[in-house]
Amino acid sequence: MADEQKASLIPSGSLRTLIIAVLLGVVGIALMNMYFRSRTKKVQWVSVAVATKQITGGDTIRNGSLVAKDLPKEVIGGKFVEGKDIVAVTGRVVGVEMDPGQPLYWNAIPLSAQGGYDKYLRPELRERAFALTLGGVLSSGTRAGDVIDILGTYSSEGSRRTAFEVLPAVTVIDKIGSVLVLSVTPEEQLLLLAAQPFELTMSIRSKLEPNTDLKMTPVSMNEVLPRAKELGTARAARLRKEAADGKIQRD
């Protein structure tokens, strides 16, 4: 009888409520400790390269395109370009669009020191990646892995358009915006640079016949350089005349 009276001193419902209250108190203390710990945790700041203006995919990073800014490391994440690396990435091509204040990440720069094109290039030929913007609608549909023929065109006597083959069977290893990245040798790169005044265009080869040459006369450096010099001389003369007339126009 006495045992039954003692048991009834704490009703079962009240005991359950007491246990729940104790558990809630423990959880509250734990949450409070986590809150104070997060408030006292030191934030790690890092110097990050961010865009100073709108950048379009395919643009080249110029002086003033990026600026160093301190941001919380836990907010940034990923492999970002640090402020001290701005000089190293100047002159590179960006593969993504960037808004002002947006951090730059290494994976947005295919030609960065992180690597990217090495596996496509044959070391024994000392090839290199060469970025080139080509005219024509076909360049917009070109993809990495395509084999293209690079052609040059210029106006000859009587305003007749003359076309010639600059480089046959060039492999496209990447595309950044409207810029194609090609696998070429140093000599071929020099040839492309010299041939750029000829309004370069291209044609895509069939993957079933990658070794079929075009029925066009190949061009050599001896053919390109004199014509390039002629165009340069004509351009210089035109600019001198426009400067004298006070109406310089920039192409």
Whether residue 85 is found in the same domain as residue 165:
no
The DSSP letter of residue 140 is: G
Is the Cα torsion angle 39, 44, 48, 52 positive or negative in sign?
positive
Domain boundary among 78, 108, 138: 108
Q: Look-up: residue for tokens 């060039």?
A: 170
Q: Please state the domain count of the chain.
A: 2
Per-residue model confidence as pLDDT tens digits over 151-204: 877 766 666 667 777 887 777 777 776 677 777 777 777 788 777 777 777 777
Whether residue 136 is found in the same domain as residue 191:
yes
- Spatial CA neighbour of 204 closest among 152, 133, 141, 153: 141
The answer to whether residue 2 is domain-embedded is no
Whether residue 150 is found in the same domain as residue 171:
yes
The answer to whether residue 30 is domain-embedded is no
Per-residue model confidence as pLDDT tens digits over 217-229: 555 666 666 776 7
Whether residue 102 is found in the same domain as residue 131:
no
CATH of the domain at 99: 3.90.1210.10
Q: d(Cα 188, Cα 7) in Å, to the nearest integer?
A: 97
Whether residue 67 is found in the same domain as residue 171:
no
Per-residue model confidence as pLDDT tens digits over 83-134: 888 887 777 778 778 899 999 988 787 644 444 555 555 554 444 555 666 6
Whether residue 58 is found in the same domain as residue 156:
no
| Cβ atoms of residues 212 and 205 within 8 Å | yes
- Rounded to two decimals, what is the model's pTM? 0.37
The boundaries of the domain holding residue 68 are 45-108
Whether residue 127 is found in the same domain as residue 237:
yes
Model confidence band, residue 140 (pLDDT cutoffs 50, 70, 90): low
| Cβ atoms of residues 168 and 192 within 8 Å | no
Whether residue 65 is found in the same domain as residue 174:
no
Whether residue 92 is found in the same domain as residue 130:
no
Per-residue model confidence as pLDDT tens digits over 12-28: 556 677 777 777 777 77
Q: d(Cα 217, Cα 210) in Å, to the nearest integer?
A: 18
- Spatial CA neighbour of 202 closest among 138, 111, 118: 138
- Spatial CA neighbour of 182 closest among 121, 123, 135: 121
Instruction: For residue 235, count other CB atoms closer than 10 A to its CB.
Output: 12
Whether residue 188 is found in the same domain as residue 218:
yes
The DSSP letter of residue 101 is: T
Q: d(Cα 83, Cα 150) in Å, to the nearest integer?
A: 38
The answer to whether residue 1 is domain-embedded is no
Q: What is the CA angle 233-190-155, rounded to 5?
A: 45
Q: d(Cα 94, Cα 59) in Å, to the nearest integer?
A: 6
Domain boundary among 69, 86, 108: 108
The answer to whether residue 171 is domain-embedded is yes
Whether residue 74 is found in the same domain as residue 171:
no
- Spatial CA neighbour of 195 closest among 237, 166, 157: 166
Whether residue 86 is found in the same domain as residue 131:
no
Answer yes or no: is pLDDT of 5 > 80: no
